[in-house]
Amino acid sequence: MSDPSAKAASRQTFSYSWVILATGFFIMVLSSGLNMSFGVFIRTLIQDYGWTTSMVSLTYSIFMISAGVASFTAGRLADRFSPRLVFLGGSFIYGLGILLASQTSTIWHLYVFYGVMAGIGNSPMNIIATMTVSRWFSKAQGLAMGILNSGTGAGPAIFGPLAGYLIVTYGWQDSYIILGLTAWAIALSAFALLRNDPHDIGARAYGDEAATGGRARGAHVADAPASGGRVWQFRDIVRTRTFWELSIVHFACCVCHAIPLLHIVPYAEQMGLSKLSAAWILGISGVTSFAGRIFWGMYADRRGTKPAFVLSTFAQALMMIWVIEARHPVMFYVWATVWGFGYGGVMPPYALFVKQYYGMAAFGVTYGAIMVAAQLGMAGGGLIAGVLYDLSGSYTSSWMLSVVAGLITAFVAMDLKAPSRSPAPAEQPLPHGISVTTQVPSDTPPAHADRASVVLR
């Protein structure tokens, strides 16, 4: 006979796990929406101040470098202290940087306020949302990460056209004031709902067994405890080949999609599209990437994380060939539809790879370190594309660079393998009373995959 209290706890945990997922989704909307809408401002800034494309693109690169460098620190702070508080501090700096960017009169103002301040403020958002959702879901992780990362598609779908409308209606400076205040409003709402770990409210992660016996609430229940109860520590993780392959994959993948995310709108404007019509390219790609993240997340649950990532990476890379000949709005919108769907599949596996290969003991710092490589890729892709355009007067070489970077990503990802076990003992304490489950990556369907799990009590 089942325990009624266990059923009630299960219902409560299931409910709030999805609240956490929805909260993480809106954090991703905020993080990616304001970030990726920067391309909508490029031609307006060039026209108002006479700056070159590479000068303005450097702002985006500084933003990404600042976010990448700070993400390592943000991940370490989130591992040691409260992820909620790290998120709150970062979001305050993020909104403040965007507000101050509205007062730009020289290029260095844009570099400092938008590039450095907003970049540092943005750094914890992806990490905190991913870390929190990972703690709250031990089942359907691919679907959860797909829904979470669909926020990075919904972000530009919302903020891209919105930024275009605000610029046309109010001018770019008032637009940044409105967007900065919007950032604070969304961040405060997310902070009110966010909870670091199921343990904080006496709950369990979605998918954990209802019966925990003597275990602390919120602990993962292992399907098959690993021999010796050992977990990964960051000092051991950085010695593995897999960590560096993941870093290369993240870097090259971000070069691949940073180029169109930053430059597709100014390119479309150059081809004769109005600002609003060009901004809708971001909007359409955001909508289809939203669907793509959910589809590829479910595909990862069924067929494996690596196959989902490789297929979607090929899709986003090869579609860059299409945009070379795009001139008519319909061609741009077709590109946005297909490219966005492929782009939607590259984000959910990022966190899944880290969790499945290394578990949750050092998730924040590991994911933060790999995100440094990702942000450097975003910075490099956006800047190099701007320089190539200034040198050649054409975006063709930039689009081909995106193709090459995408193909490198796919082929390196094919070589990813689970690392050998770390010698770190399981007795080391974890922050916030969380537990760790390390799984062999699901590169094959779950029915055929052997799982190795570690339980910390």
Q: What global pTM score does this model have?
A: 0.67
Please say if the pLDDT value at position 179 is more than 90.
Answer: yes
Please say if the pLDDT value at position 190 is more than 50.
Answer: yes
Q: Using one digit for the tens of pLDDT, what is the confidence trace for 257-294?
A: 989 988 888 888 888 888 888 888 888 888 888 788 77
Better-scored residue on pLDDT, 15 or 5: 15
Better-scored residue on pLDDT, 451 or 87: 87
Give the pLDDT of residue 289. 84
Give the pLDDT of residue 115. 92
Give the pLDDT of residue 411. 93
Q: If pLDDT is split at 50, 70 and 90, which confidence band does 15 have?
A: low
Can you tell me the distance from the alpha carbon of 61 to that of 380, in angstroms, rounded to the nearest whole number? 6
Q: Using one digit for the tens of pLDDT, what is the confidence trace for 111-127?
A: 999 999 999 999 888 88
Give the pLDDT of residue 426. 45
Give the pLDDT of residue 189. 92
Residues near 25 by beta carbon (within 8 Å), at least 6 away in sequence: 129, 147, 148, 150, 151, 154
Can you tell me the distance from the alpha carbon of 170 to that of 131, in angstroms, rounded to the nearest whole number? 38
Please say if the pLDDT value at position 216 is more than 60.
Answer: no
Closest CA to 319 of 257, 231, 274, 272: 257
Give the pLDDT of residue 425. 47
Q: Using one digit for the tens of pLDDT, what is the confidence trace for 149-170?
A: 778 778 888 888 899 899 999 9
Q: Using one digit for the tens of pLDDT, what is the confidence trace for 251-266?
A: 999 999 989 988 888 8
- What percent of the chain shows pLDDT beyond 70? 83
Look up residue 2 and give its two tokens: 């089942």
Closest CA to 119 of 68, 76, 184: 68
Looking at residue 291, its amino acid is: A
Can you tell me the distance from the alpha carbon of 428 to that of 423, in angstroms, rounded to the nearest whole number? 12
* Contact present, 246 and 349 (Cβ < 8 Å): no
Look up residue 41 and give its two tokens: 């401002």
Can you tell me the distance from the alpha carbon of 338 to that of 344, in angstroms, rounded to the nearest whole number? 10
- Which domains, and CATH codes, for the chain? 13-197+221-448 (1.20.1250.20)
Give the pLDDT of residue 409. 92
Please say if the pLDDT value at position 446 is more than 80.
Answer: no
Give the helix ranges, DSSP H, for 137-171.
141-149, 151-170
Q: Using one digit for the tens of pLDDT, what is the confidence trace for 342-390?
A: 888 887 777 778 877 887 777 777 877 888 888 888 888 888 888 898 8
Can you tell me the distance from the alpha carbon of 322 to that of 57, in angstroms, rounded to the nearest whole number? 23
**pLDDT mean over 144-149:** 80
Please say if the pLDDT value at position 215 is more than 70.
Answer: no
Give the pLDDT of residue 422. 46
